[in-house]
Amino acid sequence: MSELNRRVRLNVGGQTFETTIGTLRRVADTTLAKLVENTSELSQEPIFIDHDPKYFSSVLNFLRDGRIPLPDNIQDIDELRREAQYFNLPSLTDFIECEEQRGPPFFRGDKVVWRVYYSVLPAIKDEVKICGLCGTSSDSFDRNYRTLFELPRNATFAVGDVKKVYRDSCCVDVTFAMFNYLYHIPAKMLQLVGSGYTSAEE
């Protein structure tokens, strides 16, 4: 059997994961690659890593495939970014940054306003559980998130900041300066500042 195909077990914070030496070495100079540099010193016992195991499967899957689906909320994405830093995996950090800035029509950091047609959209629903466009469940949102239909009417005349672009750019998370929440909004309802709409804030 090739050394790279040799199985190795990792005990991360009390949870056991199994992978191969080849997977752990796929990206050079990472913390995980260095753990298996000298295979002659490896025992049958799992290698212990004193770390929270919550996001470790995502780290392994990135090493296996070179990409992973990002979590649907910013807090989990930030935790995954910290995992990349902890395991010295800059390629995962770069991947996260690239995925978060997907577009067009919008990229992270863009200033957006409502399209005129949608700026008068009445809040006709009290609750939205699943976004019909990207499939994101409002159950996965933390207390700082709000759905489209929880947006105050005066926010429809404000300039927003794009914080996250989902999947095929169907939806975005947007903050508005006067509110302390993050709103999940279909991208087709928004447009870039300066593209034909004049905001009261400009």
Q: For residue 79, give the nearest of 68, 90, 65, 93 by alpha carbon.
A: 93
The verdict on pTM exceeding 0.75 is no
pLDDT tens digit at each of 202 positions of the chain:
578 888 999 999 999 999 999 999 999 999 999 998 887 777 788 999 999 999 999 999 999 999 998 876 677 888 999 999 999 999 999 998 887 766 567 777 888 888 755 554 544 344 445 576 676 666 655 567 776 667 776 666 788 898 888 766 778 888 887 777 888 888 888 888 876 544 444 4
Side by side, which strands form the sheet with 15-20? 15-20, 7-12, 47-49
Please report the domains of the chain, with CATH numbers, ordered by start residue: 3-101 (3.30.710.10), 110-192 (no CATH)
Please, which residues bridge with residue 149 across strands?
none
